Amino acid sequence: LAADQGHADAQCNVGLCYACGTGVVRNEAKALRWFLLAADQGNPDAQYNLGTCYACGDGVTQDAAEAMRWFRLAADQGHANAQFCIGACYIDGAGVPQDYAEALRWFRLAA
Protein backbone atom coordinates (compact mmCIF):
# COMPACT_ATOMS: atom_id res chain seq x y z
CA LEU A 1 0.00 0.00 0.00
CA ALA A 2 1.08 3.55 -0.69
CA ALA A 3 0.21 4.41 2.92
CA ASP A 4 2.67 1.80 4.18
CA GLN A 5 5.32 3.36 1.93
CA GLY A 6 4.87 6.76 3.60
CA HIS A 7 2.60 8.53 1.09
CA ALA A 8 0.89 11.21 3.20
CA ASP A 9 -2.30 11.50 1.11
CA ALA A 10 -2.76 7.73 1.21
CA GLN A 11 -2.13 7.70 4.97
CA CYS A 12 -4.78 10.36 5.45
CA ASN A 13 -7.24 8.38 3.31
CA VAL A 14 -6.60 5.19 5.28
CA GLY A 15 -7.23 7.21 8.43
CA LEU A 16 -10.56 8.38 7.03
CA CYS A 17 -11.52 4.79 6.23
CA TYR A 18 -10.87 3.78 9.84
CA ALA A 19 -12.57 6.89 11.22
CA CYS A 20 -15.74 6.27 9.20
CA GLY A 21 -15.68 2.47 8.99
CA THR A 22 -15.48 2.55 5.20
CA GLY A 23 -14.32 -0.86 3.98
CA VAL A 24 -12.91 -1.67 7.43
CA VAL A 25 -14.22 -1.97 10.96
CA ARG A 26 -14.38 1.52 12.48
CA ASN A 27 -11.34 2.00 14.71
CA GLU A 28 -10.57 5.43 16.14
CA ALA A 29 -7.12 4.42 17.39
CA LYS A 30 -6.03 3.27 13.93
CA ALA A 31 -7.56 6.38 12.38
CA LEU A 32 -5.54 8.59 14.72
CA ARG A 33 -2.36 6.65 13.98
CA TRP A 34 -2.75 7.16 10.22
CA PHE A 35 -3.77 10.81 10.58
CA LEU A 36 -0.73 11.48 12.75
CA LEU A 37 1.64 9.84 10.26
CA ALA A 38 0.28 12.05 7.48
CA ALA A 39 0.03 15.19 9.64
CA ASP A 40 3.65 14.86 10.71
CA GLN A 41 4.55 15.09 7.02
CA GLY A 42 2.62 18.36 6.77
CA ASN A 43 -0.57 17.00 5.18
CA PRO A 44 -3.21 19.69 5.84
CA ASP A 45 -6.18 17.33 5.52
CA ALA A 46 -4.72 15.03 8.17
CA GLN A 47 -3.95 18.02 10.40
CA TYR A 48 -7.55 19.17 10.03
CA ASN A 49 -8.82 15.66 10.79
CA LEU A 50 -6.69 15.53 13.94
CA GLY A 51 -8.06 18.92 14.96
CA THR A 52 -11.57 17.55 14.54
CA CYS A 53 -10.70 14.47 16.62
CA TYR A 54 -9.44 16.64 19.46
CA ALA A 55 -12.35 19.08 19.18
CA CYS A 56 -14.91 16.27 19.42
CA GLY A 57 -13.02 13.80 21.59
CA ASP A 58 -12.99 11.10 18.91
CA GLY A 59 -10.42 8.54 20.01
CA VAL A 60 -8.66 11.06 22.26
CA THR A 61 -9.50 13.10 25.31
CA GLN A 62 -11.33 16.21 24.13
CA ASP A 63 -8.83 19.08 24.15
CA ALA A 64 -9.78 22.40 22.56
CA ALA A 65 -6.24 23.80 22.75
CA GLU A 66 -4.81 20.75 20.97
CA ALA A 67 -7.60 20.99 18.38
CA MET A 68 -6.63 24.61 17.74
CA ARG A 69 -2.99 23.63 17.32
CA TRP A 70 -3.85 21.14 14.58
CA PHE A 71 -6.42 23.42 12.95
CA ARG A 72 -3.83 26.20 12.86
CA LEU A 73 -1.25 24.00 11.13
CA ALA A 74 -3.80 23.14 8.42
CA ALA A 75 -5.17 26.68 8.21
CA ASP A 76 -1.70 28.12 7.69
CA GLN A 77 -1.58 26.00 4.52
CA GLY A 78 -4.85 27.47 3.28
CA HIS A 79 -7.20 24.70 4.45
CA ALA A 80 -10.58 26.48 4.36
CA ASN A 81 -12.39 24.07 6.70
CA ALA A 82 -9.64 24.47 9.28
CA GLN A 83 -9.84 28.25 8.92
CA PHE A 84 -13.59 28.07 9.51
CA CYS A 85 -13.09 25.88 12.60
CA ILE A 86 -10.62 28.38 14.01
CA GLY A 87 -13.22 31.08 13.54
CA ALA A 88 -15.76 28.93 15.38
CA CYS A 89 -13.27 28.36 18.21
CA TYR A 90 -12.86 32.14 18.59
CA ILE A 91 -16.65 32.58 18.64
CA ASP A 92 -16.99 29.96 21.40
CA GLY A 93 -13.76 30.67 23.26
CA ALA A 94 -12.74 27.04 22.75
CA GLY A 95 -9.00 26.67 23.26
CA VAL A 96 -8.52 30.43 22.77
CA PRO A 97 -9.94 33.55 24.40
CA GLN A 98 -13.31 34.52 22.92
CA ASP A 99 -12.69 37.16 20.26
CA TYR A 100 -15.37 38.03 17.71
CA ALA A 101 -13.06 40.21 15.60
CA GLU A 102 -10.53 37.39 15.30
CA ALA A 103 -13.35 34.97 14.48
CA LEU A 104 -14.49 37.24 11.66
CA ARG A 105 -10.95 37.43 10.31
CA TRP A 106 -10.76 33.62 10.13
CA PHE A 107 -14.22 33.31 8.62
CA ARG A 108 -13.20 35.76 5.89
CA LEU A 109 -10.06 33.71 5.19
CA ALA A 110 -12.20 30.59 4.90
CA ALA A 111 -14.70 32.19 2.52
Cα gap 48→77, rounded to integer Å: 11
pLDDT at 1: 78
Q: What is residue 23's three-state secondary structure?
A: coil
Long-range Cβ contact pairs of 11-16 (< 8 A, separation 24 or more): 11/35, 11/37, 11/38, 11/41, 11/43, 11/46, 12/38, 12/43, 12/45, 12/46, 12/49, 15/46, 15/49, 16/49
Give pLDDT tens digits for 44-96: 999 999 999 999 999 999 999 999 999 999 999 999 999 999 999 999 999 99
Is residue 86 a contact partner of residue 75, using CB atoms and an 8 Å limit? yes
